Amino acid sequence: MGKTMLDVSHVGMKFNLSKEKIDNIKEYIIKLLKRQLHYNEFWALKDITFKVEQGDRVGILGLNGAGKSTLLKIISGVFKPTEGKITVNGKIVPLLELGAGFEKQYTGGENIYLYGTVLGYTREFLKEKYDEIVEFSGLGEFIDVPIKNYSSGMRARLGFSIATIVDPEILILDEVLSVGDRRFKKKSLNKIKSMMASDVTVLFVSHNTNQIRDICNKAILLQNGKLIANGEVNEVCDYYEKLIDEEYDLAELPKTARKRIKRNKRKEQRLQEQQEIQKKLEKLEQFEKEQAEHQTENKSENKSENQAENQADSNTED
Amino acid sequence: MSNAYIKKFISYRHLTFELVKKGIKLKYRKSYLGILWSLIEPLLTMTVLTIVFTRLLGRSAKGLEIPFAVYILIGRLMFSFFSTGTKTAMRSIRSNSTIIKKVYAPKYLYPFSSALYTYVIFLISLIDLFVVSVCMGVKPSWYMLQAFIPLILIFFLTFGIGMILATIDVFFRDVEYIWDVLSMLIMYTSAIFYTIRRFDGWILYVFKFNPIYRLIEGFRDAFSGQPMHPYGMLYAGLFSLGVTLFGFFIFYKRQDDFILHI
């Protein structure tokens, strides 16, 4: 295998879930004096360990609140983990919530330079690629209009075009394949696929297991901040689907439906039991038959013996 | 270790440049005269202050080695840089929160570039000072080169205080109001439109221990063709560097928590 691109070892992230945000001194002192400053500690991630090799395309699965976005933000450097260590070898391009880092008063063109340098590109490089970015975004003359007048789709298109102008070594996708209109969706999907062809390492978050099976070769599964599965994509996806189905049966349905399911289950069980009983009965019957046959055989033997005896008797009579 | 920091700083020079450009551009966006206002506005306030203090309040420039207009202009330019620089740096983490939440970049770049863009505007407005000095007949001398020392020191003082304020502002918004009041207090103890000759006793020490006043004093000395007060400048220099180091210290200590509070 290739070199390790990403090494996540024992990473944990703790948040203080204070019920209300304290951002002024008066409240802080009052809370301090009342000793209400104890925060509800909440571990969004706990003891996460995995490695990603070069060229791996890793799907990240998990329910809402499982810690997927937190994990991606830690990997892209926005969050610093409370404990553990992350080693990244290579240039990361994060496609998280596209276009959220734009300056609203700037025009699209100005934002190319601002957002591009935020992502770590040089200004010369951006100057060189400017036309290419504008062309891919399909914004045309709107590029000279302030971003505040853009639709959210236009903003996302520009964000995607800027972020993907280089071939990154590690690409982080957070459900961005649903960006823009249908035409741009296709275009961006093609772009991502062409990036993947060039041995790029991908981290991909999605709820859609079909999409993950389609794109990834490996997957990890998070549940309540813990890593509960890590391995080949189909195995993890199957496990995830099974897990969801089970949970669905038990918890998320209304009572009547749950009752119906239980009834159905009981019916099934009963049916199974009946079938088993039937099988047993059949077996028993067969057994009895066999025994019966055995007995008849015995009888016939007895008969011949009897006949022989009779003969003997008759002989003795003679 | 420090080498790695410098390398990182250099690798982010493009972002610093863009952030400085953004600050300047947005400040003058939608005004017809644009960046010319950085020249016009100090001239206008200088005129107003000079008229108010010489004609209305009857203060005179007697005993000053430089014209009163130049005296006021230097004080006003230096102080308004300090005041706006610390304020924009203070708000820089919050005003760039959308970027900070999405993409990693060293966080000190935000207060740094905020202080830097106000500094660039300040340097541009120094053109006024030269024009006014020439018009008022200030004699050029080699002592004017001394002006570079307070010019550099006031940047570090502003940046350092800006970092401290930015760190506090993330956790306690109150500091914005407190700093408004405090900077007014600092303004009156910086002797911008009067001389400290009228004071004595402990009040005099308030002025002398105000590093802003010391820097303004040094700048004025350079323009009045006399050497700077060596201890005063040494004090201001040590104070500025100390504040910058302390600013870095508390900023680095708390910067990982910023993201949870913005």
For residue range B93-107, list pLDDT tens digits in order: 988 888 888 888 899
- The answer to the question of residue B13 being in a domain is no
Residue B84's region, left for phi above 0, alpha for psi from -120 to 50, else beta, is: alpha
Please report residues of B whose CB lies closer than 8 A to that of A121: 14
- The answer to the question of residue B222 being in a domain is yes
Please report residues of B whose CB lies closer than 8 A to that of A16: 260
Kindly report which listed range (A16-25, A203-212, B159-168, B175-184) carries the lowest average pLDDT score: A16-25
Contact A94 B103 (CB under 8 A): yes
B65 has a pLDDT exceeding 50: yes
- The answer to the question of residue B37 being in a domain is yes
B28 has a pLDDT exceeding 50: yes
Q: What is the pLDDT of residue A176?
A: 59
Q: What is the pLDDT of residue A219?
A: 92
Q: What is the pLDDT of residue B87?
A: 97
> Using H for helix, E for strand and C for coil, what is the string for chain A?
CCCEEEEEEEEEEEEECCCCCCCCHHHHHHHHHCCCCCCCEEEEEEEEEEEEECCCEEEEECCCCCCHHHHHHHHCCCCCCCEEEEEECCCEEEECCCCCCCCCCCEHHHHHHHHHHHCCCCHHHHHHHHHHHHHHHCCHHHHHCEHHHCCHHHHHHHHHHHHCCCCCCEEEEECHHHCCCHHHHHHHHHHHHHHHHCCCEEEEECCCHHHHHHHCCEEEEEECCEEEEEEEHHHHHHHHHHHHHHHHHHHHCCHHHHHHHHHHHHHHHHHHHHHHHHHHHHHHHHHHHHHHHHHHHHHHHHHHHHHHHHHHHHHHHC
Pairwise pLDDT comparison (B197 vs B33), residue with the higher score: B33
- The answer to the question of residue B69 being in a domain is yes
Q: What is the pLDDT of residue A293?
A: 76
- The answer to the question of residue B10 being in a domain is no
Contact B261 A101 (CB under 8 A): no
Please, is B60 exposed, middle or buried when counting C-beta atoms within 10 Å of its C-beta (0-12, 13-18, 19+)? exposed
Task: Show the domain range for B136.
Answer: 28-261
> Which of A78, A80, A113 has its CB closest to that of B103?
A78
Tens digits of per-residue pLDDT, A69-125? 888 888 888 888 989 999 988 888 877 767 667 888 899 999 999 988 888 889 999
Tens digits of per-residue pLDDT, A210-256? 888 888 889 999 988 888 888 898 888 888 888 887 766 555 555 66
Tens digits of per-residue pLDDT, A277-309? 888 888 888 888 887 777 766 655 555 555 555
Answer whether A139's CB lies under 8 Å from A154's CB: yes
Q: What is the pLDDT of residue B86?
A: 97
Kindly provide the ipTM of the predicted complex, given to two decimals: 0.83
Q: What is the pLDDT of residue A317?
A: 44
Provide the token pair at A247.
């949970």
Give the number of domains in chain B.
1
Q: What is the mean pLDDT of residues A151-178?
A: 81
Pairwise pLDDT comparison (A213 vs B121), residue with the higher score: B121
Q: Percent of chain A, pLDDT > 70?
A: 80
Please report residues of A whose CB lies closer than 8 A to that of B171: 23
- The answer to the question of residue B137 being in a domain is yes
Contact A118 B99 (CB under 8 A): yes
Identify which of B210, B216, B262, B239 has the alpha carbon closest to the alpha carbon of residue B71. B216
Please report residues of B whose CB lies closer than 8 A to that of A15: 260
Q: Percent of chain B, pLDDT > 90?
A: 62
Tens digits of per-residue pLDDT, B146-157? 999 999 999 999
pTM score: 0.80
Q: What is the pLDDT of residue A128?
A: 94
Using a CB–CB cutoff of 8 Å, tell me whether A79 touches chain B.
yes
Q: What is the pLDDT of residue A316?
A: 46
- The answer to the question of residue B2 being in a domain is no
Q: What is the pLDDT of residue A244?
A: 80
B235 has a pLDDT exceeding 80: yes
How close, in Å, is residue A246 to chain B by CA atoms?
Answer: 35
- The answer to the question of residue B3 being in a domain is no
Q: What is the pLDDT of residue A63?
A: 82
Q: What is the mean pLDDT of residues A10-30?
A: 74
Q: Percent of chain B, pLDDT > 70?
A: 97
